[in-house]
Amino acid sequence: MTYKILFLDIDGTILKPDHTYETTTKNAIKQVKDQGIEVFLATGRPLHEVEKLASDLEISSYIGYNGAFAVYQNETIINEPMRKKSVEEFLQISEELQHDMVLYSRDKNYFTSLEKEVVQKFIETFQLVKNDTYHDGVSSDILGATVINVSEGQAQNYEIEPDIRLSPVNVDGAQNSYDIIRNQVNKGEAVKKLLDRLEIPREKAIAFGDGMNDKEMLMAVGEGFAMSDGHPDLAQYAKHQTTAVTDSGIYNGLKKLGLVK
């Protein structure tokens, strides 16, 4: 099989818990790029927070905000902000339940509060730098959102429409946080649109992920890999399971396909 495109989640897939990545990961990415395979970062993160990593890995195509925004070689392919009404309802629920939220625009991370310890822990965990306090003036610009410090059983309160589901954040230090995912706007739907745009059949596409926000993406490609230390429910949506992020998971998966040495 001649593969054409590779989608890589970041946290727990490329990045280890200490925010570094294996040398084998960078080498594997270089090897597949040298074969003409297009490499995308595919993340729940806002794209303004992944620029340094993308530069280090020499990657210039991205899916961000859990599929709400995608760029192919500097061309914007997908731009799907959340409905203003939905954003307002999420904020109202978070206030009633005494949760915190971070809402991501194209330029900043807007927190409902910047002072709380749980928020500072979240910022530290993801090393976020472009932070501000949320205000109504950006309600139409929100591409994604994460609810912080959610108690067991409370996540479902945010599923206000059939199109909405919450996905647990699979990162040490961010337990009890959930990404708000739209059924028609997610990594998998973004992958499908990009494959169609680039005229690449799904059989020639590869993806790696570790969290439940990756399940649609792994199902949208021909060769989906779940990290062995990822969310325990993810493996059922992947064709393959590879080794842990701390054990050259991307390299070992690509080696299984005969793409790296």
What is the chain's pLDDT, residue by residue, as a tens digit (261 residues)? 799 999 999 999 999 999 999 999 999 999 999 999 999 999 999 999 999 999 999 999 999 999 999 999 989 999 999 999 999 999 999 999 999 999 999 999 999 999 999 999 999 999 999 999 999 999 999 999 999 999 889 999 999 999 999 999 988 888 899 999 999 999 999 999 999 999 999 999 999 999 999 999 999 999 999 999 999 999 999 999 999 999 999 999 999 999 999
Q: pTM value?
A: 0.95
Pairing of strands 100-104, 75-79: unpaired
Domain count, the chain: 2
Query: What residues make up the domain containing 114?
Result: 84-182
Same domain, yes or no, for 93 and 75? no
Pull the structure tokens for residue 51: 């620029």
Same domain, yes or no, for 104 and 128? yes
Report yes or no on 234 lying in a domain.
yes
Exposed, middle or buried, 257 (CB in 10 Å: 0-12/13-18/19+)? middle
Beta strand residue intervals within the chain, DSSP E:
5-8, 38-42, 61-64, 69-72, 75-79, 100-104, 109-111, 131-133, 144-148, 164-168, 178-182, 205-209, 223-227, 240-242
Last residue of a domain, one of 162, 182, 202: 182
Q: What is the CATH number of the domain that holds 198?
A: 3.40.50.1000
Report yes or no on 76 lying in a domain.
yes
Sign for the CA dihedral angle at 218, 219, 223, 225 comes to positive
Distance CA 120, CA 179 (A): 17
Place of tokens 């993340």: 43
Please say whether the beta carbons of 87 and 234 come within 8 A: no
Same domain, yes or no, for 102 and 22? no
Count CB-CB contacts under 10 A for residue 75: 9
